[in-house]
Structure 1
Amino acid sequence: MHQNNIVYRGKKLEEAGKVLIMLHGRGASAEDILSLSSYFKLDNDFAIIAPQATNHTWYPYSFLAEPSQNEPFLSSSIDLLNGVVNDIVLKGIAKDKIYFLGFSQGACLTLEFVARNATRWGGAIAFTGGLIGDKLYPDKYKGDFAGTPIFIGTSDPDFHVPVQRVQDSTSLLTKLNANVKEIVYKDMGHTIIQEEIDWAKKWVLNNAQNV
């Protein structure tokens, strides 16, 4: 199961006004995803947190597998994030000052976590990802995003993430009252491009500068 192995950057939690939680992809590390933070030029009020998945993977199989096939690791990942968020809130930081960012498997986990816990988060950024399961299970998701900005960028095609799943995820998130900006890039490949970063800053993180 996942250990509480967290890497920190930016301001100390005790002194921060906002937090960005960054989730790495399969086979990567917390340090890998943290290196992306330099492209966002976050203000000095941000603490940046990156959990490290055990064996560098949040769950063993494709995010399109039946959920039971990815257990108990998927539930362990969700529990880990719940613990991280609870620790942040105990430090006096409200949920609408908490932001999420993930790539690939980390993007899927980002969307899955916020959808299962829909509330007014600061925002969420998913670089190539969708909600988890062989199909969508709407009963898993509850709450009200109250306009939380969410950016989802992906490629058409992408070897790991079908565009249809991205679009279906956007639809479900929107029904939970999220303010979703979805962009599908033709033949982008399984990567992150500068235009996605620019949109993520504009749609999600720039809002943080004025909160």
Structure 2
Amino acid sequence: MSLQRNMKWIGSKSINQLESPLKTIALCKGNNIKNVIICMHGFGDNAANFSSLGNEIKIDDVLWLFPQGPRSYPMGEDGSQWFPLFNNPTEERRVSEDSILQLLFNVTECLKLEMNKIFILGFSQGAAMSLLCGLKSKEKLAGILSLSGFLIQPHVIKNTYSGEGIETPLFIAHGNQDQVIFPATYFETIDSLKDMGCKKLRSKIYSMGHSICQEEIKDITKFLEEYR
């Protein structure tokens, strides 16, 4: 397969065998891929909209992957979700989790990269998936970035590590005026991660609502550069 199933490219294509279990936007920056950043959009958004983030963060030699949630969001135009908010999410969340982890595995196999060269980033519901997949996999990644999100199944994740501590660096960001996912959730997430033994935890709360601001973009860039 030369142009892979579910993969849409923006910019130059330096690889041609990567497959995705989800509809995915791929943005390649530079000719020598040193890191991959897998980015999950929020509830009701889509991969195409969220892919603009790859142009705001100025880092070279990176492959950005923006998978799209597997289930459409009927109340939004071209919107998708990783799991439903208004009924039992367990089964659909598991499907999303498996698909994201499969994409992660495909990336490492195709590019011959170690797991510690992969970042997982998400916003809102996508942030919840980035934490869930990144931590439950127990692999040491380059980093996990949770933007305006929340932590799913903290008791399950804590039991996974059994006192070993979390080696993957984490960046947790939130808005102090967030009316979608309240700021209290941010502090609960920080407390849970500390309780799990997270060894490299960076966190910051910004003067904003449920969004991403320029100050946050700068801090994301610093985090990526530090741990790449």
Query: TM-score normalised to the size of structure 2?
Result: 0.77
Flag structure 2 segments of 5+ consecutive residues without an equivalent: 1-20, 73-79
1:51 paired residue among 67, 70, 87: 67
1:11 shift after superposition: 5.4
Q: Does structure 1 residue 4 correspond to structure 2 residue 22?
A: yes
Name the structure 2 match of 1:162: 182
Which letter does structure 2 place at the counterpart of 1:53?
G
Task: Check conservation: 2:41, 2:126, Cα contact below 8 A.
Answer: yes
CA contact (8 A) 1:151 1:199 kept: no
Contact 1:20–1:48 (CA<8 Å) still a contact in 2?
A: yes
Deviations 1:56-101 (A, max 9, x none): 1111107xx8xxx212111011001110111012121111100111
- Counterpart of 1:190 in 2: which secondary structure? coil
Seen in structure 2, the aligned counterparts of structure 1 residues 83 and 114 have a Cα distance that, compared at 3 Å, is: same
Q: How many residues align?
A: 195
- Once the 2 structures are TM-superposed, how far is the Cα of residue 145 of structure 1 from its aligned partner? 3.1
Q: Secondary structure at the match of 1:8?
A: strand
Over the aligned positions, Cα root-mean-square deviation in angstroms equals 2.4
Moved segments of 4+, more than 3 Å: none
Q: Aligned equivalents of 1:118 and 1:28: distance in 2?
A: 28
Number of the residue aligned with 1:181: 202
Amino acid aligned to 2:53: L
Identity %: 25
Residue ranges of structure 1 left out of the alignment (5+ in a row) = none
Instruction: Give the 5 Å matches for 1:1-211.
Output: 4-10=22-28, 16-43=33-60, 45-54=61-70, 55=72, 56-61=80-85, 69-91=88-110, 92-132=112-152, 136-141=153-158, 142-143=160-161, 144-146=165-167, 148-174=168-194, 175-186=196-207, 188-202=208-222, 204-208=223-227, 211=228
Tell me how far apart the structure 2 counterparts of residues 32 and 198 of structure 1 sit (CA, whole Å). 20
SS of aligned partner of 1:4:
coil
Structure 1 CA distance, aligned partners of 2:84 and 2:141?
A: 28
Query: Contact 2:174–2:183 (CA<8 Å) still a contact in 1?
Result: yes
Shift of 1:168: 2.3
Greater radius of gyration (CA): 2
Q: CA deviation at 1:178?
A: 4.1
